[in-house]
Amino acid sequence: MSLLSELFSDLFARQDNALARIDPRTKLIVALSILAAVIYSPTPVFPLAIVIACVAVTVAIGLPCRLIALRLIAPMGIAGVLLVLQSMFSGSTPLWKFPAFGFDLTFTREGWHTGCLMAARVVGGVSVMLLLSSVTPAHRVFLALRSLGISKTWVEIAMLMYRYTFVLLDLTADVTEAQRVRLGYSNLRRGISSAGVVGGVVVLRAIDQAVRTNEAMRVRGYKGEIPLGLLPPLAWRDAWIITGSAFVLSGILISLEVLFR
């Protein structure tokens, strides 16, 4: 659970570096365009280049390698499964054949290619998000979403949810610990019923917290609207970054299109 808090916490996004200083709207727009390019790319080369670039930058700004590995391991597993599934279930030209459990398994050429492409897209997309969240605190992402036109109510609830997730994570850790030291997880049946109790405690505590938070909000003038902060106006630099990256990305995409299709 503490691991989850650690993953979830935007502690590292609050370090000062060149990327952290860029306006969150700019970062969000650029990240979205890179994502689009990753999905659109006809070849695995581009997504893989993005993976290398993003991971390198993330390491350079000081995110612990352990956290990076944690965040990439599951998507890589998915990428692997995708590769196997695609190679076996689509295409027709046999690439490899090998016997297993008394029958032949065929990997096809076309399947292998699409599989590689998809796997590269998965890892590429995930590493873009990894970099974005390593240089942008959560609330600034929300404010950026707000100024890019996402509903204010949505952003308000998102901020509340993000804030109180930490409080409830602490609570869950405490309750689970208390159960564990009293053998609440010593076998499967007990484990399940203990898990149900944790869930119940968390929901009840959340509602109590909501009542008290509502009171605390009311004495500070809350009447149904949570005011949000404003991001500073975009500077010329941001316009340059956005147009620059748009140019570079479309240049790369066009040349990939020409080279690989």
Give residues 7-66 in contact with other proteins (rule: CB under 8 A).
7-11, 14, 31-32, 35-36, 38-40, 47
Stretch 98-137 residues interacting with other proteins (CB under 8 A): 100-101, 103, 105, 110-111, 114, 118, 121-126, 128-130, 132-133, 137
**Contacting residue, 54, 135, 142, 242, with other proteins by CB under 8 A:** 142
3-state class (DSSP) for residue 105? strand
Q: Which of 95, 147, 156, 231 binds other proteins (CB under 8 A)?
A: 156
**Residue 167 or residue 240: which is nearer to other proteins going by CB?**
167
From candidates 211, 233, 236, 258, binder to other proteins by CB under 8 A: 211
Q: How many residues does the chain have?
A: 261
* Residue 207 binding other proteins, by CB under 8 A: yes
Structure tokens at 128: 């873009």
Alpha helices in the chain (DSSP H): 2-8, 18-21, 24-40, 45-60, 65-89, 109-135, 138-147, 152-181, 188-218, 236-260
Q: Give the bridge partners for 97, in sequence order.
A: 106
Of the two residues 3 and 240, which places its CB atom closer to other proteins in the complex?
3
224 binding other proteins? (CB under 8 A): yes
DSSP state at residue 231: P
With contact defined as beta carbons under 8 Å apart, do 230 and 196 qualify? no
Smallest gap from residue 204 Cβ to other proteins (A): 6
Q: Indicate the Cα dihedral angle 34, 35, 40, 45, nearest 10°.
A: 70
Q: Which is nearer to other proteins, 32 or 183 (CB)?
A: 32
